[in-house]
Structure 1
Amino acid sequence: MRKLLLVTLLLFLLHGAYAQWKYEPSPENLKNREWFQQAKFGLFIHWGVYSVLGDGEWVMHQQQIPIKTYEKLPAFFNPTEFDAKAWVKMAKDAGMKYITITSKHHDGFAMWDSKVSDYNIVKRTPYGKDVLKMLADECRKEDIKLFFYHSQLDWRHPDYFPRGNTGGNYTGRPDRGDMNKYLDYMDAQLTELLTGYGDVAGIWFDGMWDKKDADWRLEKTYKLIHQLQPGALVGSNHHRAPYEGEDFQMFEKDLPGHNTTGFSPEQKIGMLPRETCETINQSWGFNLKDDRHKSRKELIQYLVKAAGYDANFLLNVGPMPNGKIQPEHIELLKQMGDWLKQYGETLYGTRGGPLTARDWGVTTQKENKVYVHILKWYDASLLIPSWGKKIKSATLFADKTPVKFLENQYGITLSIPKEKLDEVDTVIELELK
């Protein structure tokens, strides 16, 4: 009984210590949060040895491949056509302001020259080069910020124990381990990423959902990141409200406040900057059979909706094992970039507008201008609620054609000639008095 009381007291004290921790973001961090909110569009890259099998990034778990068998894959991973310059140019031409790339996914394979483990691209593949270093150098040249995705879940590491909901008995790992040793290993690898690759824009965590109520030592890990790079932004795809020490909130394959995937029944919208991520086809990692590519219209409208929800859009591609991006994806990104050359002003630097999202579309706002993004037309006239500000003028953003508007007790009615409607996004610029 005395032992039980001591354990209970210890748990209480530990919980109290965690609850008392109060994160104070640095001035650099707050400045980077502001930049992040204005950036609006980023490139997500899922790439690792799993691309060799062409069946997505979860192939080890889905095909239940034992570790000893999966460890043969690096010998076949030789991305001789990887071109960091081409990747960064593609992102920049698409209108993207940052790149988030998988440094380590759930399979435990490191995409950089890790000194903590030889299970990495430099030491285990015929390619033998540090792709993250090359990408970081190129991003720095082109003023594109770089985030590292890092999986807290690890299907290979023996000390990732007790096991979570994935990576079960098929792996061949011993049924024992020390989670604190694993977390020490994870922090050591994060230290490498945060000390050897220049300014890192942030760490994009994933995998806590595998054991969502475990002790992940978040305070220690988050403090380490903020100490090594005070300006780096920390976010985690745990599908919950933000934890202390996090700087932005992410929403996987959903707009903020939605739960169409079923991932986020507990996720509440916090006050931090927001980001939603989505795939360009149906897969995160390269999938040879996945030809269900989203259309130009779908992608642009998702970007616009995200901005209307005051969130960034992180759009994913899964490079092929040779290091090239699929041509279809390059073309879609180019089309988005072409659209942003004309309409980027209505998204970059804006915040979510005065009206919440409607069935017809969203609004964004910058200073005294409100941009009404009409994504779905029912009539040539649109009645929107008034928000207490008087309108000075209304124009069609595309060609500055004046738009007829009427303000009365029912709201604001906007009238546009049918020939001026755009099937993707009809943008009306409202200048406020």
Structure 2
Amino acid sequence: MKLKNVIAGAILFIFLTNNLMAQPGYQPTEKNLQNREWFQNAKFGLFIHWGMYCQMAGGGDQGIAEWIMNQKKIPIAQYEKLPNFFNPIAFNPAEWVSMVKKAGMKYITITSKHHEGFAMFDSKVSDYNVVKRTPYGKDIIKMLKDECDKQGIKLFFYYSQLDWHHPDYFPRGNTGQGFTGRPEKGDWNKYIDYMNTQLSELLTNYGEVGGIWFDGMWDKWDAPWRLDETYALIHKLQPGALIGSNHHKFPFPGEDFQMYERDLPGENSMGFNHTGAMSDLPLEMCETMNGSWGFNLVDKDYKSTTQLLQTLIKASGYGANFLLNTGPMPNGKIQPENVDTLAVMGKWLEKYGETIYGTRKGPINPSVWGASTQKDGKVYVHVLKCKEENLFIGTLPKKLKSAKFFDDQSTVKFKETEFGVILNIPNSKKKPIDTIIQLEY
């Protein structure tokens, strides 16, 4: 490699490193550390994707939904007509939060602004928001936050750093190019100022929030995002708020939890979760109930409750939370199919939540057959798939004292060998979703 190439590469690395330094020297407050602990104990939350895109109902394509402006190349002048029809008169935040509680979920993360650039809150820095541009005219975020406070549910705000609407999001990234009608010029620093002002609004006008869930930075990796300023602002305004970013990379300084999109920690079936090793921060994975994030009338690819519960269990086996998404309909109702799914999951958690909530990653890494969690000196082995009656689970850090079926506390026969532990699980004792075995050293 020529010297000039080495120097150029070094300069680029320094440039990118400086841009992504986020909040160097960040030391979380005691409140922040307490909230991290709460977050790890919570294990299960509801993701809500709701914006103007819900009215397009997928445009006839399964899976587009919240990306429809980009995928169908809708110019801003045309897309700006959508708020004129947004009037979700059936929106009942008490219903939403009650559904969340019945599902056994402990927090909600809602889109305050998605890539379309439309704010679902009463922003003063831009009139492109739900209060000023829609016949509904009410602050969705405030209504939901007030109800969350009443019912004891934490609320996190999703915020898209990517913006297909704002003229100063320039130079353009990998998306939103060539069709929006924006002038081919802009002031990037003005856009970051705009973003930080909206974040300040979210962090000062709605009481104490769980945190900020960023998305969209992957659209322009080489941009000067000024993360150090943004992260410091958030931690100053709300020292206890947790920051996470869906940038698909290892966490940057200043971030308080690490997230994975549609993959379990350490996996990359989607092809974009280049996170490398798991950090020591709290972990979270997100997934949809069907194929879309936002409401999509033609997307009927619903995941079974068994699949979703087993994903929750495996996520817990990695020590991660499961953030499960729904896209509310234009009228403000949650799809009945999703309500039913959440109710079934809640019933399961009523019975088996002890083996999920408050647990940490178990001593046995998740595998094809299942996962393990642990809490208060007990290990819970979650057997999800096992055709044989003898299951080899691997080595444990201590000698076993007992093994019992969680359901009826009957004894599980086991054998400790030099290679690890073998559990005897008669087919008659196996459950269709999860056979739980409680171990004590």
TM-score by length of 1: 0.95
1:251–1:276 contact (8 Å) kept in structure 2: yes
Judge conservation of contact 1:94–1:335 (CA < 8 Å) in 2: yes
Match for residue 311 of structure 1 among 314, 320, 326: 320
Q: Which of 13, 21, 26 is residue 23 of structure 1 equivalent to?
A: 26
Is contact 1:82–1:322 with CA below 8 Å preserved after alignment? yes
Once the two structures are superposed, residues 101-143 of structure 1 have per-residue CA deviations (whole angstroms, 9 ceiling, x without a partner) of 0000000000011111000001100000001101101111111
Q: Within 1, Cα distance between the matches of 2:22 and 2:195?
A: 23
Q: After the TM superposition, which residues 359-398 of structure 1 pair with which residues of structure 2 at under 5 Å, given as runs?
A: 359-398=368-407
2:202 matched residue in structure 1 = 193
Aligned match for 1:291, one of 300, 304, 307: 300
8 A Cα contact 1:240 1:268, kept in partner: no
Instruction: Tell me the equivalent position of 1:109.
Output: 118
Note if contact 1:255-1:306 (Cα within 8 Å) is conserved in structure 2.
yes
1:20 Cα deviation after fit: 8.7
Contact 1:276 1:312 in 2 (8 A): yes
DSSP 3-state at the match of 1:119: coil
Q: Does 1:40 align with 2:43?
A: yes
The equivalent of 1:87 in structure 2 is 96
Residue in 1 that maps onto 2:3: none
What SS class does the counterpart of residue 169 from structure 2 fall into? coil
CA contact (8 A) 2:290 2:302 kept: yes
1:51-62 aligned at under 5 Å gives the runs 51-55=54-58, 56-62=65-71
User: Counterpart in 1 of 2:429?
Assistant: 420
Equivalent residue letter for 1:119: Y
Q: TM-score, normalised by structure 2?
A: 0.94
Distance change (3 Å), C-alpha of 1:312 and 1:14:
closer
Residue equivalent to 2:183: 174
- Measured after TM superposition, the shift of residue 418 of structure 1 is 1.5
CA offsets, 1:223-264, max 9 Å, x none?
A: 000000000000000000001110000000000111000112
Q: For residues 325-380 of structure 1, what are the alpha-carbon distances to aligned partners after superposition, in whole Å with 9 as ceiling and x for unaligned?
A: 00010000000000000110001000010011121111001121000000101211
Map 1:324-403; keep pairs closer than 5 Å.
Answer: 324-403=333-412
Please tell me whether the aligned partners of residues 22 and 229 of structure 2 are also in contact (alpha carbons under 8 angstroms).
Answer: no
Aligned to 2:61: none
How has the CA–CA distance of structure 1 residues 20 and 400 changed in structure 2, closer, same or farther, with 3 Å as cutoff?
A: closer
Q: Could you tell me whether the CA contact under 8 Å between 2:22 and 2:227 is conserved in 1?
A: no
Deviations 1:59-97 (A, max 9, x none): 100100000000000011110000000000001100000
Structure 1 stretches of 4+ with a deviation exceeding 4 A read: 11-14, 16-20
SS in 2 for 1:314: strand
Structure 2 residue aligned with 1:301, among 310, 321, 341?
Answer: 310
Match of 2:232 among 223, 230, 235: 223
For residues 11-64 of structure 1, give each alpha carbon's deviation from its aligned partner in whole angstroms, at most 9, with x where no partner exists. 879939958921010110000001111110000000011101111101100100
Alignment partner, residue 271 of structure 1: 280
Distance in 1 (CA, whole Å) between partners of 2:148 and 2:109 is: 11
**CA 1:13–1:60: 2 relative to 1, 3 Å:** closer
Distance 1:13 1:274, change over 3 A: closer
Aligned length: 425
**What SS does the corresponding residue of 2:345 show, helix, strand or coil?**
helix
Q: Which letter does structure 1 place at the counterpart of 2:92?
A: D
Q: Distance in 1 between matches of 2:251 and 2:19?
A: 18
The two structures, once aligned, show a CA RMSD in angstroms of 1.8
For 1:321, the aligned partner's letter is P
Structure 2: distance between partners of 1:98 and 1:213: 33
**Matched position secondary structure for 2:409:** coil
CA contact (8 A) 1:239 1:267 kept: no
Q: Distance in 1 between matches of 2:88 and 2:308?
A: 28
The answer as to whether partners of 2:20 and 2:225 remain within 8 angstroms in 1 is: no
The range that moved more, 418-427 or 337-346, is 418-427
Contact 1:212 1:238 in 2 (8 A): no
Unaligned runs of 5+ in 1: none
Distance 1:372 1:390 in 2: 15
> Which of 128, 131, 134 is 1:125 aligned to?
134
Is 1:259 equivalent to 2:268 in the alignment?
yes
Residue 66 of structure 2 aligns to a residue in which SS? coil
Query: Per the alignment, do residues 423 and 212 of structure 1 end up closer, same or farther by CA in structure 2, a change over 3 Å counting?
Result: same
Give the Cα–Cα distance (whole angstroms) in 2 for the partners of residues 110 and 191 of structure 1: 14
- Structure 1: which amino acid aligns with 2:292? S
Secondary structure at the aligned position of 1:271 is classed as: coil
2:22–2:231 CA contact under 8 A, matched in 1 = no
- Name the aligned partner's letter for residue 148 of structure 1: F
SS, match of residue 99 in structure 2: helix
Q: Within 2, Cα distance between the matches of 1:161 and 1:53? A: 27
Is 2:165 the partner of 1:156? yes
Following the alignment from structure 2 to structure 1, what is the Cα–Cα distance between the partners of residues 245 and 88?
29
Q: Deviation at 1:393?
A: 1.3
